[in-house]
Amino acid sequence: MPAVLAARADWAASAFPAGCELFEGVVQDLIDELGRLPGVGPKSAQRIAFHLISSEPADIKRLVDVLGKVTEGVRFCELCGNVSEQQQCRICRDTRRDGAMLCVVEEPKDVLAIERTREFKGRYHVLGGALDPLSGVGPDQLRMRELLARISSDEVTEVIIATDPNTEGEATATYLVRMLRDFPGLNVTRLASGLPMGGDLEFADELTLGRAFSGRRSL
Amino acid sequence: MAHLYRDTGVVLRVHKLGEADRIITLLTRKHGKLRAVAKGVRRTSSRFGARLEPFGHVDAQFYPGRTLDVITQVTTVDAFAVGIVSDYQRYTAASAISETADRLAAEEGEPALRLYLLVVGALRALADGQRDSSLVLDAFLLRAMAFAGWAPAVSECARCGLPGPHTAFSVQAGGLVCARCRPAGAVNPAPDVIGLLVALLHGDWDTAGATAQGTRRDASGLVAAHLQWHLERQLRSLPLVERRVWQGTLGTEAASEAASGG
């Protein structure tokens, strides 16, 4: 973009406060669309919009291409429900993974969090959320049936329940334990819960400290 | 400096806000329903995030904000969530209790002491696990409706006030109706069902606990229909409430759960 236009864009961004729909057509549309993203308020949306307007066309094209690919190319793995570009995700395709261990998580981003630890070499199952009756989410809205089918057919010997350690996640874990305990030879475990690394004992809340006590281990 | 204030309350529900914050809806003792922001509680390093989970009974300090107040300190009064989430049936019942309380306390900041005490009592009963969670839920719903002014008429006719006993129940009329007032669509529940409704409304747990499973199921249906008629909107959690055969106290529910789980 020529310097004159960029300067004009900067001026426009500063001249009109957020919330004022003074921009015409496509600029206002861009601000509105950006404002619908999570964590982006009207002011941030305006700033991003004017940053894009003043960016090089090649940068914009790259962004547009990626967005296009996201709508067309990304789907969910038919086995585990993780985001994938093919029918099966990278982890489910990997033959070096231990098929006997299955880690059940709520969201695809939880897979990433566990992968970062480099501790777990098994496979995953993404439920797509947690049981939350207040939001109308029951067992039928989650990928519970697919989980049962996987456990019945695959050679799974251990299911690790790694739902969030909050009320909804704990209730989901309770439900899963109840659902899975009749499978012969299946070991169902839950992620340990307790004190975070780098914290002080005196500041721990009683629930976390209580769970740390009940889950203590011999050394 | 703005005036800090303190109150005890039950966490009815939580919403995510921004990166790591939450909006907490509480039903408090002195200030009725409150919506307040708890900053940074979704981070694992949060010092009070665990206390502000749904069904928690807490003592909190608030700092008045521009739109929503901010929660600055929290201590736990009762950790009901621990007992509730250990059983899925209790969890669904507690969710329905929270949603009903949220709906009935329509006005924020309006004291609703009776409703608050009812919610605390119901959640305590659920967390204890000594009573059928389905009965606890129905007792709560009936009494909460009584608090809102919609108690179903269970002894006299809902329309003309003729003393009972009557046999027909009409949701639209607001409870039992006499033969003369009976509108189209009224149902004829078994006498035991009416007896259970009366027992639940008055807290007669001996009578309620002695009822058969079918009676409880029919009573639950009437209570749910009555509630949703008056709320004029479907409760999201009510269809998801698990109503299974209850087999006794903590730890012995295994058999029934296994039978109906999945």
Q: What percent of chain B has pLDDT over 70?
A: 92
Q: Which of A142, A175, A183 to mutate to test the interface with B (most CBs of B within 10 A)?
A: A175
| Alpha-carbon separation of residue A160 from A97, A114, A186, A190 (angstroms) | 15, 12, 11, 6
pLDDT band for A21, please (50, 70, 90 cuts): low
pLDDT reading at B182 higher than 80: yes
Same structural domain for residues A125 and A187? yes
Same structural domain for residues A107 and A187? yes
Per the CB < 8 Å rule, is A171 touching B91?
yes
The pLDDT of A151-173, averaged and rounded, is 90
Please tell me which residue of chain A has the smallest CA distance to B257.
Answer: A178
Same structural domain for residues A126 and A21? no
Q: Does A182 touch chain B (CB under 8 A)?
A: yes
pLDDT reading at B190 higher than 50: yes
- Residue A85 inside a domain? The answer is no
Q: What is the mean pLDDT of chain A?
A: 85
Superfamily of domain B1-130: Nucleic acid-binding proteins (2.40.50.140)
- Residue A163 inside a domain? The answer is yes
pLDDT band for B250, please (50, 70, 90 cuts): very low
Per the CB < 8 Å rule, is B13 touching A133?
no
Same structural domain for residues A130 and A187? yes
- Residue A84 inside a domain? The answer is no
Same structural domain for residues A60 and A101? no
Same structural domain for residues A207 and A103? yes
Domain map (residue ranges) of chain B = 1-130, 132-231
Nearest CA to A125 out of A134, A10, A152 is that of A152
Q: pLDDT by residue (tens digit) across B12-35?
A: 999 988 888 999 999 999 999 999
Nearest CA to A210 out of B73, B25, B82 is that of B82
Same structural domain for residues A59 and A123? no
ipTM, 2 decimals?
A: 0.82
Cis peptide leading into residue A133 (ω within 30°): no
DSSP state for residue B211 in the 8-state scheme: S
pLDDT reading at B257 higher than 50: no
Domain range for residue A29? 3-73
User: What domain count does chain A have?
Assistant: 2
Q: pLDDT by residue (tens digit) across B109-147?
A: 888 899 999 999 999 999 998 888 999 999 999 999 988
Q: pLDDT by residue (tens digit) across A76-123?
A: 899 999 998 888 999 999 999 998 999 999 999 999 999 999 999 999
- Residue A83 inside a domain? The answer is no
Please tell me which residue of chain A has the smallest CA distance to B99.
Answer: A134
DSSP state for residue B156 in the 8-state scheme: B
Task: Closest CB to B50: pick one of A132, A148, A205.
Answer: A205
Q: pLDDT by residue (tens digit) across A176-211?
A: 999 898 888 899 999 988 887 777 788 777 778 888
Same structural domain for residues A138 and A199? yes
| Chain B environment of A167 (Cβ under 8 Å) | 53-55, 81, 84-85, 91
pLDDT at B164: 75
Same structural domain for residues A148 and A184? yes
- Residue A210 inside a domain? The answer is yes
pLDDT reading at B258 higher than 60: no
The pLDDT of A146-155, averaged and rounded, is 86
Nearest CA to B29 out of B134, B128, B110 is that of B110
Residue B53 near residue A134 (C-beta atoms within 8 A): no
Per the CB < 8 Å rule, is A179 touching B86?
no
Q: Does A135 touch chain B (CB under 8 A)?
A: yes
- Residue A108 inside a domain? The answer is yes
Please indicate whether residue A3 or residue A33 has the higher confidence score (pLDDT). Answer: A33
Neighbours of A54 (CB within 10 A): 17
Least confident of A2-6, A38-42, B161-165, B225-229: A2-6
Same structural domain for residues A101 and A207? yes
Same structural domain for residues A209 and A126? yes
pLDDT at B248: 46
- Residue A34 inside a domain? The answer is yes
